[in-house]
């Protein structure tokens, strides 16, 4: 399973084209950020952390809470 995942990942990455700096106009837009609104994201993460048993994936740390 893990080997398959890693091979799949390498396959995807090997299919990438090298995008030159002058071709990054779209990628540089704020809307193309991985997390376009950190406030929305943090509030959502906090809600789901307090109502579900999973957390993490986007980063480390983030603060504990007595809510879970």
Partner 1 sequence: MSDQNNIRSKLTLASATLLQLGSISAVDAADNGWDISTAVLLYQENDGRVSAIEPVISGKKELKNGDRISLKAVFDSLTGATPTGATATSAVQTFTNPSGKKSFTTEAGETPLDSTFLDTRVALSGSWETPVIDDYSRVILGGNVSKEFDYASLGVSASFLRDYNSRNTTLSASIGLNSDTISPSGGVPTPFANMRIANSGTNRDGADDSKTITDLMLGVTQVINRRTLMQFNLGLSETSGYMNDPYKIISLVDSTSGLPITPTDSNDLPYLYESRPDSRSRQVFYWKTVYHLTEDVINVSYRYHTDDWGIDSHTVDFHYRYELGDGSYLQPHLRYYTQAAADFFTSSLVDGQPLPEFASSDYRLGEFVTQTIGLKYAMPTGENSEFSVRAELISQVQSDVGTPIGDQLNNELTPDLDSYIIQLGYNFRF
Give the max Cα distance, the chain: 48
Give, as one character, the DSSP assignment of residue 25: T
User: What minimum distance in Å lies between the beta carbon of 58 and partner 1?
Assistant: 6
- Residue whose C-alpha is closest to residue 45's, from 53, 55, 35: 55
User: What minimum distance in Å lies between the beta carbon of 7 and partner 1?
Assistant: 13
Per-residue mark of binding to partner 1, 21-50 (x: CB under 8 A): xxxxxxxxxxxxxxxxxxxx-xx--xxx--
Residues at the contact surface with partner 1, assessed by CB under 8 A: 5, 9, 12-13, 15-40, 42-43, 46-48, 51-68
């Amino acid at each position: 399973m893990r080997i398959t995942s890693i091979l799949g990942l390498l396959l995807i990455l090997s299919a990438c084209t090298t995008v030159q700096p002058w071709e990054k106009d779209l990628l540089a837009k704020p809307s193309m950020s991985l997390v376009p609104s950190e406030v929305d994201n943090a509030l959502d993460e906090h809600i789901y952390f307090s109502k579900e048993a999973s957390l993490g994936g986007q980063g480390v740390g983030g603060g504990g809470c007595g809510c879970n």
